[in-house]
Amino acid sequence: MATLQRPPRRLIPGFVILAVSTMLLVQLARRSPVLLVAPPGTAARGAGALVRNVAVRSASTSSSPIVSAIPGITEKYKSLCDRLKEINQLSGAVAILGWDEQTMMPPGAASSRGQQKAALAAIIHEKQTDENLASLIQELQEGKHLNCEFARANCRDAKRDYDLESSKSKEMAKLEAELEADCFNTWVTARKENDWKAMEPKLKKMFDLKREIAKATRPDLPTYDGALDAFERGMPSSKLDSIFSQLKKDLVPLVKEVTSAKGYKIPPELKDHDFDVKKQAEMCIEIAKDIGFDISRGRFDVSAHPFTGGVGPSDVRITTRYSPKNWAEGLGGTIHEVGHALYEQGRSMEHQDLPVSRALSMGVHESQSLLWERMVFQGRPFWDYATPIIHKYFPHTKDITADELYKAVNHVQPGLIRTEADELTYPLHIMLRYNLEKSLMEDSVDVSCLPKIWNEDMKRSLGVSVPSDADGVMQDVHWNVGAIGYFPSYTLGAMMAVQFYNEAKKQIPDLESKISKGEFGPLKDWLNQKVHQVGSLYASPDELLIAVTGKPLDAGCFMEYLQEKYSKLYSL
Give the Cα separation of 390 and 311 in Å (integer).
Answer: 32
Could you say which of 4, 100, 246, 273 contacts its own copies (CB under 8 A)?
100
Contact residue for its own copies among 3, 116, 166, 167 (CB under 8 A): 116
Among 90, 198, 252, 281, binds its own copies (CB under 8 A): 90
Q: Which of 86, 139, 446, 564 binds its own copies (CB under 8 A)?
A: 86
CB of 117 to its own copies, least distance (A): 8
By CB under 8 A, how many residues form the interface with its own copies? 36
Question: What's phi and psi for 556, nearest 5 deg?
Answer: -60, -40
Of 13-21, 115-123, 395-403, 471-479, the window that binds its own copies (rule: CB under 8 A) is 115-123
φ, ψ of residue 212 in degrees (nearest 5): -60, -45
Q: What is the smallest separation between the CB atom of 522 and its own copies, expressed in angstroms?
A: 23
Asked if residues 102 and 18 have their Cβ atoms less than 8 Å apart, the reply is yes
- Least CB distance from residue 159 to its own copies, whole Å? 22
Three-state secondary-structure class, residue 228: helix
Which one among 104, 188, 302, 449 touches its own copies, defined by CB under 8 A?
A: 104
Site track 416-445 with its own copies (rule: CB under 8 A), x = hit: ------------------------------
Vertex 141 angle, CA 139 and 147, to 5°: 110
Least separation, in Å, of the C-beta of 202 and its own copies?
28
Going by C-alpha positions, the residue among 182, 177, 228 that lies closest to residue 203 is 182
Say which DSSP state 285 is in: H
Please give the torsion angle defined by the CA atoms of residues 3, 365, 504 and 513, in that order, rounded to the nearest 10 degrees. -30
Query: Is beta strand 315-320 parallel, antiparallel or unpaired with respect to 308-311?
Result: antiparallel
Collapsing DSSP states into helix, strand and coil, what is residue 267? coil
Helix (H) or strand (E) segment spanning residue 128: helix 110-128
Strand order in the sheet with 315-320: 298-302, 315-320, 308-311
| 462 close to 427: Cβ distance less than 8 angstroms | no
| 105 near its own copies, judged by CB under 8 A | yes
**Binding to its own copies by residue 352, rule CB under 8 A?**
yes
Q: What are phi and psi of 323, to 5 degrees?
A: -120, 145
Does 298 engage in binding with its own copies (CB under 8 A)?
Answer: yes
- Catalytic annotation, residues: 337
Q: How far is the CB of 128 from its own copies (least distance, A)?
A: 14
Residue 112 in contact with its own copies, rule: CB under 8 A: yes
Angle at 255 between CA 253 and CA 256, to 5 degrees: 60
Is residue 285 involved in binding its own copies (CB under 8 A)?
Answer: no
- Residue 112 or 513: the one with the smaller Cβ distance to its own copies is 112
461-490 residues in contact with its own copies (CB under 8 A) are: none
Nearest Cα to 159, choosing from 23, 68, 22, 30? Answer: 30
Q: Are 62 and 148 in contact (CB under 8 A)?
A: yes
Residue 208, interface with its own copies (CB under 8 A)?
no
The stretch among 58-66, 104-112, 254-262, 484-492 that binds its own copies (CB under 8 A) is 104-112
Distance CA 548, CA 546 (A): 5
* Least spacing, CB of residue 345 vs its own copies, in Å: 9
Amino acid at 279: K
296 binds its own copies per the rule CB under 8 A? yes
344 binds its own copies (CB under 8 A): no
Q: Which range of residues in 110-118, 182-190, 266-274, 422-430 is near its own copies by CB under 8 A?
A: 110-118
Interaction of residue 204 with its own copies, rule CB under 8 A: no
- Residue with Cβ nearer its own copies (22 or 186): 22
Helix (H) or strand (E) holding 187: helix 170-192
Contact range with its own copies by CB under 8 A, out of 94-102, 216-224, 283-291, 491-499: 94-102
What does the alpha-carbon distance between residue 478 and residue 17 come to, in Å, rounded to a whole number?
Answer: 9
Site string for its own copies, 511-550 (x = CB under 8 A): ----------------------------------------
Judged by DSSP in three states, 305 sits in coil
Residue 93 touching its own copies (CB under 8 A): yes
**Local structure of 202: helix, strand or coil:** helix
Which residue among 58, 60, 62, 115 contacts its own copies (CB under 8 A)? 115
Cβ neighbours of 223 (radius 10 Å): 20
302 belongs to the binding site for its own copies (CB under 8 A): no
Separation of alpha carbons 513 and 249, rounded Å? 34
Rank residues 35 and 119 by Cβ distance to its own copies and give the closer one.
119
Is residue 262 helix, strand or coil?
Answer: coil
By CB under 8 A, tell whether 281 contacts its own copies: no
Decide if residue 248 touches its own copies (CB under 8 A): no
* Residue 211: CB minimum distance to its own copies, A: 32
Binding of its own copies at residue 132 (CB under 8 A)?
no
**HEC secondary structure over 512-566:** HHHHHCCCCHHHHHHHHHHHHCCCCCCCCHHHHHHHHHCCCCCHHHHHHHHHHHH
Nearer to its own copies, 98 or 234 (CB): 98
314 touches its own copies by CB under 8 A: yes
> Is 553:499 a contact under the CB 8 Å cutoff?
yes
Binding of residue 130 to its own copies (CB under 8 A): no
The residue ranges that bind its own copies (CB under 8 A) are: 85-86, 89-90, 92-93, 96-97, 100, 104-109, 111-113, 115-120, 123, 294-299, 311, 314-315, 352-353
